[in-house]
Structure 1
Amino acid sequence: MPSATHTRSMLLLLLTMTVWGSTFMVTKELIAVWPPFTVAFVRVIVGTLVLLPFALSRKTPGVRLPWPTIWLMGFIGVALYYLVFNLAMVSVSASQGALVQASIPAMTALVAVLWLRERASPLRWLGIALSVGGVLIVFSGSGSDGGESSLFGSLLMFVSVVCWGLYTALAKRAAGFDSLVITVAVTGTGSVLLLPLAGYEIVTANLAGNGLPPLPPIGWVELLYLGGIASGVAYLLYNASLRHLDASEVGVYTNLIPIVGVLTGVIVLGEPLSARAIVGGLVVMFGVWITSRSERPVAVTA
């Protein structure tokens, strides 16, 4: 029978995955009002500010952080990731975006094999191949559901998957440092890189004579939710749950992210979902499950 601590950790992890899974739907609603790069910048800077006090309390004096690696991680895993993610959400449904992103664990495994030269078992290769094949099936359903999903949007979302795989590989270079300190440093540098693009959107909107459209009250709540909760508090909950759970358990829970993403897109936004997208998503998740059987799951954040 699981202890109270173990049960609490599972509930924290379940809550975290639910929050991260809902970001597809929330982002979709926000970029219908504000331009995508501005939404990305505000999300990242708010998340950074929420985590900053915790990171400062844990930073060891005299320890020099690997800033070249941090800047590269900030570029690939924050700036570029959120740029293509939010841009994809302009032309792809939240549910289809979630299905494409379900392939992140398999893509991370592929990057580890090709870049880090990690050994791959036949089972691992099978899982990767199934996940990629599932994504191709999802692509084939783009636009066939009567909704707004486009092949271009799906391709952009897949680029975000590749960015996250590369970011995870880069993170291994900073594995010897406090994870929270590194995360705040990375999101901070990512914020700096996103600022010029957000500024360009704001200046362009002002030159057009209208400026940024006013966000309704629910829009401000969603923006704070993305930054403060999804990119801030959820990371703290995730770290807290990891102290009392095995890596295999964590891997199972991460598979909830695309499921929540699809459900919130279909139920909350009323998005249609093609049969090919559903089949492709199931193939992706089956491939991810096979991949996870041959390696320790990789931690994720959002």
Structure 2
Amino acid sequence: MKNRQNLLTAALTGLAPAVWGSTYLVTTELLPPNRPLLATTMRALPGGLVLLAFGRKLPVGVWWWRALVLGVLNIGAFNFLLFVAAYRLPGGIAAVVMSAQPVFVVILASLFLGERIRLVHALACVMGTGGVMLLVFRGATSLDTIGLVAAVGGALCMASGITLTKRWGRPEGVGLLTFTGWQLTAGGLVLLPFWLALEDLPDGLTGSNVIGFAYLITLGAVLSYVVWFRGIERLPTVAVSFLALGSPVVATLLGYLVKDQTLSALQVIGMAVIFLAVVLGQPRPPEPKPEETPSAPPSTTVSRTPAP
């Protein structure tokens, strides 16, 4: 029964990386060009403020700085670096660099959560990275250094955010929507002054821009992060990290379906390898303990005294 619940939780949690995989397409096709700070701030802050108004509860005590740290790692810094990578790298290359995130989580979970590094997790990390490489193989291509650094930094932020979210948990009496709102608002507020200082406003917003921002705020932030944090609460840390490998798969499939990109046999093999890596990364059902056979009661020897 518990294993079935874990599978259902993993499937629901996996919807978040699937939505994030569409971010590459939405960024390049619908949003104003070369404005990663605008895109990141608009993705986080409006949805966070709506959730705060809905929950009507602010952090208390230590949770002020914890919400800030989690908001920066899970939302602000991660999304900014994600958008920079999406703008400066081909979507597939950005995805393959971000796929190093489970490796970081395995290490961080061992150091800070006491989770044992298992051989199956190491194998899943190798398979996941190899599968993504097959998925995005395009031959020789020019790579942007800033884009690569941003992708690696995004992977580190995501791994650190998953680990600390698991370590700190959620404060008692605070709902999941409110907890998500704290982080979205914190991440958005941290980015707001950088956006105002470093980027100018677009001359105007087209209908496509409005659709793109609406998609990022609703599906790309509020709904996806709610199910993501729910998954972190209910699944092992490493298991959640491997679910993020679904993002490049979705990015590739959308490129094939929407932008008429080709899908080679190597890419199909890569998808299969990624799927196996995700399965390997999920918790195994406990092995049934062998039934103990009841020990026979000790034999008693009745001494008979011969009658005289």
One fold, TM greater than 0.5? yes
Q: Quote how far apart the aligned CAs of 1:200 are.
A: 1.7
The structure having more radius of gyration, on CA atoms, is 2
Question: Of 84, 97, 110, which aligns to 1:87?
Answer: 84
Q: Which residue does 2:251 correspond to in 1?
A: 261
Deviations, residues 232-269 of structure 1 (Å, cap 9, x unaligned): 234456789x7xxx859x96976544322211133323
Q: Quote how far apart the aligned CAs of 1:215 are.
A: 2.6
Q: Which residue does 2:28 correspond to in 1?
A: 28
Q: Which residue does 2:55 correspond to in 1?
A: 55
The 10-residue stretch of structure 1 (186-195 or 95-104) with the greater mean CA deviation from structure 2? 95-104
Letter in 2 for 1:121: R
The answer to whether structure 1 residue 169 and structure 2 residue 169 are counterparts is no
CA contact (8 A) 1:100 1:157 kept: yes
CA contact (8 A) 2:96 2:129 kept: no
Q: Quote how far apart the aligned CAs of 1:27 are.
A: 2.0
CA contact (8 A) 1:139 1:154 kept: no
Q: Which residue does 2:68 correspond to in 1?
A: 71
CA contact (8 A) 1:97 1:154 kept: yes
CA contact (8 A) 1:93 1:265 kept: no
CA contact (8 A) 2:243 2:278 kept: no
- Residues 173 and 238 of structure 1: CA distance in aligned 2, closer, same or farther (over 3 Å): closer
Q: Distance in 2 between matches of 1:168 and 1:10?
A: 15
CA contact (8 A) 2:99 2:245 kept: yes
1:120 is paired with a residue whose SS is: coil
Q: Which residue does 2:221 correspond to in 1?
A: 231
Deviations, residues 138-196 of structure 1 (Å, cap 9, x unaligned): 79957726xx7656534522321221010111112431423332221122111121012
Matches within 5 A, 1:84-163: 84-132=81-129, 137=133, 141=137, 144=140, 150=144, 153-163=147-157
Question: Of 198, 202, 205, which aligns to 1:212?
Answer: 202
Q: How many residues of Structure 1 are paired with residues of Structure 2 in the alignment?
A: 274
Higher helix proportion, which one? 1
1:78 is paired with a residue whose SS is: helix
Structure 1 residue runs without a partner (length 5+): 1-7, 206-210, 297-302
Identity among equivalent positions (%) equals: 23
- Residues 239 and 40 of structure 1: CA distance in aligned 2, closer, same or farther (over 3 Å): closer
What is the TM-score of this pair, normalised by structure 2? 0.69
Structure 2 residue runs without a partner (length 5+): 1-7, 287-308
Q: Which residue does 2:304 correspond to in 1?
A: none
Letter in 2 for 1:19: V
Q: Quote how far apart the aligned CAs of 1:10 are.
A: 10
